[in-house]
Structure 1
Amino acid sequence: MTRIYKPLMVLIALVFWNITDTYAQEALKPRPSPLEMVTMKYEDTYIKITYCRPHKRGRKIFGDLLPFDEVWRTGANEATEITITGSIKLGDQIIKPGTYTLFTIPNKDHWTIILNSELGQWGAYNYNSKLDVIRFDIPVLTTKEVYEPFTIAFEQKAHSAELVMMWDRTKVTIPIVFM
């Protein structure tokens, strides 16, 4: 009986040790700027934007936390990425299907919108303008409403859409035409 008893006790001890080791792991804390994904589909064209949502938290955003005339990752943490499965016209530029990094350069009266071919970037620290696919300016709207988290959304129309970015009292609307 002791021949069976010792291995059985060792096995039980290993199982309990494994269980307590697994449950002793530190719980992951949620990010202060959570990951978000927005999507839209029009006929055979699908658009997906993956970004992290920073919050205002009482801070002055544009011209302070985000200085004017500097490249921004368009969110927090990893740089924002946009995937397009069919050709579209974004603003006044034609975009071919693919995945791009979405950078912006906020200014007081307009933003510069940039799609860049280098993926997997953290922030805009290694931004390389030589890899820009498109770049254009779009006017800024000032809103009465305060948007606490940075928000990207789509507003779908009959045969087009708008890509809308909102934070604090700032709103930027980029027209999308499906090709």
Structure 2
Amino acid sequence: MKNTRKLTSLAMLLIAVLFSATAWAQDAKPKASPAASAEGKIGNANVTVNYSSPAVKGRTVWGELVPYGKVWRSGANEATTVTFDKDVMIEGKPLAAGTYSFYTIPGEDKWTVIFNKTAKQWGTQYDEKQDALRVDVTPRKAKSMNERLKYDVTKDGLLLSWENMEVPVKVSAKK
């Protein structure tokens, strides 16, 4: 009787260990849209972009996965955020220092770039009434294919790159 109890306890322990190992292995699977960031300096302003980076995965991104003429969270998961530690000029218009959610309205020839005052939010909870600034920019063909969405902070501003498209946003330090 004692041997049966010991065997049963040992079997239960082994099963528990196997289930734990399986659960841990699932957590190790890479995320479909991993978190990423870009940092840099534009003039005297420190700039940080935090976003989730989806992949193309053989899909047509512009006009299909990301429809033209509709607000897009410009990333995946939580809203992409842009932080400026100093007041800046975006495409010649003033924007106060702070952290903003970053949305866009893609178009074939023109994009609207949106800095929204509600930074911490799920990407699909956009509220136009919270917009701090909207500017129009012109997209361009990328020099090479970008499998993953990527942001860069350059001396000239922000650059969103994904699939075969780049979207430059001019940023300058406020004087």
TM tier relative to shorter chain: 0.7 to 0.9
1:153 aligned partner: 152
1:168 aligns with 2:163: yes
2:39 aligned partner: 39
The answer to whether the Cα contact below 8 Å between 2:78 and 2:122 also exists between their aligned partners in 1 is yes
Question: Matched residue pairs, number?
Answer: 155
Provide closer, same or farther for how the CA distance between residues 86 and 148 of structure 1 changes in structure 2, counting only shifts above 3 A.
same
Q: TM-score, normalised by structure 2?
A: 0.82
Q: TM-score, normalised by structure 1?
A: 0.80
- CA displacement at 1:117 relative to structure 2: 0.7
The answer to whether the Cα contact below 8 Å between 2:42 and 2:171 also exists between their aligned partners in 1 is no
Which letter maps to 2:165?
A: T
1:9 aligned partner: none
Q: Deviations over 1:50-100 (max 9, x none)?
A: 000111111000100011011111111111011111011111221111111
- CA displacement at 1:140 relative to structure 2: 1.1
The answer to whether the Cα contact below 8 Å between 2:142 and 2:161 also exists between their aligned partners in 1 is no
Which letter maps to 2:164?
A: R
1:107 aligns with 2:102: no
- CA displacement at 1:113 relative to structure 2: 0.2
1 CA distance for matches of 2:61 and 2:49?
22
Which letter maps to 1:172?
A: V
User: Relative contact order (alpha carbons < 8 A, sep ≥ 6): 1 or 2 greater?
Assistant: 2
2 CA distance for matches of 1:146 and 1:43?
29
Task: Please tell me the root mean square deviation across aligned C-alpha atoms, in Å.
Answer: 1.9
2 CA distance for matches of 1:61 and 1:167?
8
- CA displacement at 1:42 relative to structure 2: 4.7
- CA displacement at 1:142 relative to structure 2: 1.7
Q: Give structure 1 regions of 4+ aligned residues with deviation exceeding 3 angstroms.
A: none
2 CA distance for matches of 1:175 and 1:43?
12
- Secondary structure of 2:129's aligned partner: helix
- CA displacement at 1:176 relative to structure 2: 1.2
2 CA distance for matches of 1:42 and 1:63?
31
Provide closer, same or farther for how the CA distance between residues 42 and 173 of structure 1 changes in structure 2, counting only shifts above 3 A.
closer
Could you list the runs of 5+ residues in structure 2 that have no partner in the other structure?
A: 1-12
2:83 aligned partner: 83
- Secondary structure of 1:38's aligned partner: strand
Q: Deviations over 1:146-168 (max 9, x none)?
A: 11111110222xxxx22111111
1:141 aligned partner: 140
2:173 aligned partner: 178
1 CA distance for matches of 2:172 and 2:44?
13
Provide closer, same or farther for how the CA distance between residues 147 and 43 of structure 1 changes in structure 2, counting only shifts above 3 A.
closer
